A and B are shown apart, each in its own frame.
Chain A
């Protein structure tokens, strides 16, 4: 039976540092997938996910259990992803073009046989980072708007607005696709 996260954290803070691996194993896939959905790059996602666990380990003493550990971990991971995206957009335009070309040919695109799915995936990539983050946390992690606000350090109203705009953007993309058919 899986030990509750708080108990594992207490063990780690009491000196049983090897117990942290239980948390890594529990959340590694989720955090990796979250990072992948934000970056669409497997290598970046792996680096960011690993960094998230290391950052969580460093800050473990500050986790007070007032939210779920997963929410706290998502916050760390999402901050890393958003910073990564921010630094990527500051790159030289020619490098950005290269990155965009990679996205079009990336492993996700190769999996999508339906043109509408490809169109949607591109539309998600074009979303502002905060909207993409909100969409990812809501749709894939199943977080409430309140939890999303906690993760992204914004108001609940802002979280809802970002989600609304993200969904509407995808809806318009689908509509345009249908009209073009």
Chain B
């Protein structure tokens, strides 16, 4: 198995990342673990100075540092052959043709509900506290969903977990349900309720 790396992996042996021996970086093995980070300017000032102090006196490590610099410089300079004339026009045309055959993308259902809730809150058609609760739940759902790899998401069943969300009791909300006509969760949408269940919403 390869050596450890500056960044968290434990190298062979007993030295972890950033461990300074006896108050100073010593030993070629320790320095070489840091040469890549040093080249990329990622070492803290003290560590950088200690590595450089070691390099000033060690030909072997200096040679290693030079190899790393040379290798990364050459990699960076490796070209990508220029495509032939007309390539990008053809590329764009192919992408356009393919996406024209796709269904237009829509925001995820939970995002559409969140957008509606935000609008309804701005227009004061639903109580602020209920809307804030709903938005908070939808934000959590959004964060959870975001960690998935980008792919078509299954229909959001967000409001299965939001028993406190209710819309229908507010007549103005009902009148605006056409905003949600293509929201898949509508079928599962519970009515928005006040958190204080004894109070009826005011119709503005």
Contacts and interface: CB of A to CB of B under 8 A. Distances in A.
Q: Do A and B bind each other?
A: yes
Contacts of A111: 79, 81
B8 A58 contact: no
A60 B87 CA distance: 25
A167 interface: yes
A89 interface: no
Contacts of A163: 5, 36
A37 B81 CA distance: 10
Interface residues of A, number: 64
Interface string B160-186: 000000000000000000000000000
Interface in A1-29: 12-13, 15, 17, 20-21, 24-25, 28-29
Interface of B: 2-9, 36, 64, 67-68, 70-72, 74-81, 83, 87-88, 91-92, 94-96, 98-99, 102, 104-108, 111, 142-143, 145-146, 148-153
B153 A61 contact: yes
Given A63-B150, A116-B74, A160 B94 contact: no
Contacts of B94: 50
B75 A120 contact: yes
Interface of A: 12-13, 15, 17, 20-21, 24-25, 28-29, 32-33, 36-37, 42, 46, 49-50, 53-64, 66, 72, 75-76, 79, 107-108, 110-112, 116-117, 120-121, 124, 135, 139-140, 145, 153, 156-157, 160-161, 163-165, 167-168, 170-171, 173-175
Given A32-B91, A171-B67, 17 more contacts: A13-B106, A21-B95, A21-B96, A50-B95, A53-B95, A61-B105, A61-B106, A62-B108, A62-B151, A116-B74, A117-B74, A124-B78, A145-B7, A157-B8, A161-B7, A171-B68, A171-B71
A153 B149 contact: yes
B67 A156 contact: no
B75 A139 contact: yes
Contact of B36 (A46, A124, A164): A164
